[in-house]
Structure 1
């Protein structure tokens, strides 16, 4: 085969594949310190990957015991106790993304042991409705039932809220139905747990119920802090059906608590449209919003 031909083929292959230079190492912030027992700590944090790297070494000729813990955005993320033989090394990696508090813009990772500590600060804005991988509270189940409210037999809806993060959130659960205006409760599941709250509804016991559940932190008339909106329908005698919707801010002021169904819906079916009524600080401002429901 002609050498010139081989050279042309090789050159074309290289140009097609592209030239890759040496990989640039990930830039991390690193701090080192000794514990009170003599263990040597090296802690690194990469803001881009949100990975915390921890190395603990025993440089002595005796067994060392040491305990460390660290928090993310003020809430304890992990705690561990080690017993290191002479010359032993302990290494761990933590992706702390699930510990970031989604409502904060300034964040911190603080690792502490007896005798030393390391802290890394970074910034990052996250939206509760589009959190970019940062876990936030979410509705995992809705069930209509017959229960007791204020000592009386009533129609109720149970809403399960899960906190998949490693941080603490306090959220509000609000239900609107055809007969009920903004019945609410607070949901405060601890990290990695779920909490089920009960909301009283004003529909007669045993009747069909149609409505919406909103989950949010902060103010109801803003999307900042909003977490979820779910439409639901069913009764105590049937399975509750629900589907997620685009979040719509609302107000607790105005007629019917700021919410009313449009007229003309047939019995036993999901309403064809919903109209939101929001009251302003100096007067009522009507904001029409048609939300198409599944039949």
Structure 2
């Protein structure tokens, strides 16, 4: 009664499909191969310039909106030197404050997280003042920021250090008169493998469920009640298999190269006009 339909559909070559996708991407202007093959692009661009990445919300990605915001960001970077820093770096920020006699305020702290994209990009600095943890959230492109300094350039094992709010105070205590530490040109960015020790329970969040690597003896500090309630598994284990999630929330290599080419074109235009000699696209770990 039922007839097999195997072989009734034409076979489609995967090579033809992949070639069609590549040619379409090239025609859309996502990547300029002539400029991308110059060898002047940064491999660490997504980590060093997270503010230039695409929005992690799929339906908020708009090429015209991204282009207009990128122009504003580049113009702002021509007026203020925004150094390279990562989560875990020690950063100092000087802002204008009309309520102070000196008309400016300087805060030093460890960068605990960098979030959001484009003009909305924010970074958080944390320090301990008089045994009290203080966190200040800055808008990277806030026009009241006068100066940003990287006092110690390094990374941590985690992409965010929000757990420092439950850690001992010595892990987030830094001198406001700290001298900048030099970083050798071309040397890789050091990764600080320090593991902090948390205070006794209760904590602000269930850190043992989030897979952080920078916390010392995390599971042993969990109370027996939680151990009986939940076995030692991480709730985000499934995300590493979700290919669609990673595709929609992360930036592609072609998009990163496209943005770098646009930045280089902007720099070349300003340098040729003699308006400035400041460079935007730079990295301490680059061999140039």
The TM-score, its normalising length taken from structure 1, stands at: 0.26
More strand by proportion, 1 or 2? 1
| Higher-Rg member (1/2) | 1
Q: Which has the higher contact order (CA 8 A, sep 6+)?
A: 2
The TM-score, its normalising length taken from structure 2, stands at: 0.26
